[in-house]
């Protein structure tokens, strides 16, 4: 398995990849000449946590004396420890900006789970929350059949046969900030975790900002009432480099013939 090693340098060229198109449109991140600061990020976040504390990103060095667990710091103070010049934490902050209600809910669920089961015990729910937080991808579509095909690993049907539907009737929306980080240096094998959202046709006429607001609300409902993160079973693998426009090599249909990456569905005896 390829080991991922993120660059330590600011590289605005990575944002030429269409996977970052919404970040460019909403934050102009591709125009930044150097690493964005916490002050810059705080211009875009509008979230509250715990007892109503306003979320703000704080340089990790300023919290060096903190003894509380990461999620507890956020829950009790609203402060999100953020390492400077760090891709992982940069994208984590941007997800807070894009999905403020969902991120606040995940923080609450982390704290509830820790209070019930202790800090050292990793329950199925806490594992699922972490996996989604790091690797989640929403696949939003008007067509339930496409979701079923993806869940059944019918990759060529969705990515080749119905390729023209992408951007019109189906789209992938990144939630996992680790996915964003790893897409700065893509490699075959890079896989996210899919959760589906079925929408009406009107969704695809919404602005980018309004789509995120809608999806943020939908995720809160799905997590709170459908309990989709009580364990990992609601999520299925999604080869990120197969998503149309997200990787140049997938313009060639032969790219999807690599069954080490685009694996068939396992059959259970």
Q: What's the pLDDT tens digit per position in 114-128?
A: 999 888 888 999 999
CA distance 11 to 169: 32
Note the pLDDT of residue 1: 44
Cβ–Cβ < 8 Å for 81, 66 = yes
Statement: residue 153 has pLDDT above 90: yes
Cβ–Cβ < 8 Å for 234, 195 = yes
Average the pLDDT over 144-152 and give the result. Answer: 98
Average the pLDDT over 60-76 and give the result. Answer: 94
Statement: residue 215 has pLDDT above 60: yes
Note the pLDDT of residue 267: 75
pTM here? 0.95
Statement: residue 3 has pLDDT above 80: no
- 53 pairs with which residues across the strands? 49
């Amino acid at each position: 398995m390829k080991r991922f090693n993120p660059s330590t340098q600011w590289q605005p060229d990575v944002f030429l990849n269409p996977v970052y198109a919404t970040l460019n449109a909403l934050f102009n991140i591709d125009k930044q000449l150097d690493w964005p600061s916490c002050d810059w990020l705080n211009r875009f976040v509008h979230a509250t946590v715990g007892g109503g504390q306003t979320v703000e990103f704080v340089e990790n060095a300023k919290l060096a004396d903190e003894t509380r667990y990461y999620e507890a710091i956020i829950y009790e103070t609203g402060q999100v420890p953020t390492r400077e010049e760090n891709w992982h934490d940069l994208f984590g902050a941007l997800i807070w900006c894009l999905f403020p209600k969902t991120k606040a809910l995940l923080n609450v669920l982390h704290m509830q789970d820790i209070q019930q089961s202790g800090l050292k015990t990793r329950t199925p729910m806490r594992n699922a929350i972490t996996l989604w937080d790091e690797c989640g991808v929403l696949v939003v579509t008007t067509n339930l059949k496409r979701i079923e095909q993806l869940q059944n690993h019918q990759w060529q049907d969705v990515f080749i046969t119905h390729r023209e539907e992408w951007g019109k009737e189906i789209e992938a929306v990144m939630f996992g900030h680790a996915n964003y980080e790893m897409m700065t240096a893509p490699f075959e094998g890079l896989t996210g975790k899919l959760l589906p959202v079925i929408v009406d046709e009107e969704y695809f006429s919404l602005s980018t900002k309004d789509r995120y607001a809608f999806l943020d609300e939908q995720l809160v409902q799905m997590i709170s009432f459908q309990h989709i993160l009580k364990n990992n079973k609601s999520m299925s693998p999604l080869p990120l480099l197969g998503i149309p426009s997200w990787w140049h090599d997938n313009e060639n249909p032969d790219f999807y013939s690599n069954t080490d990456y685009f694996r068939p569905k396992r059959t259970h005896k």
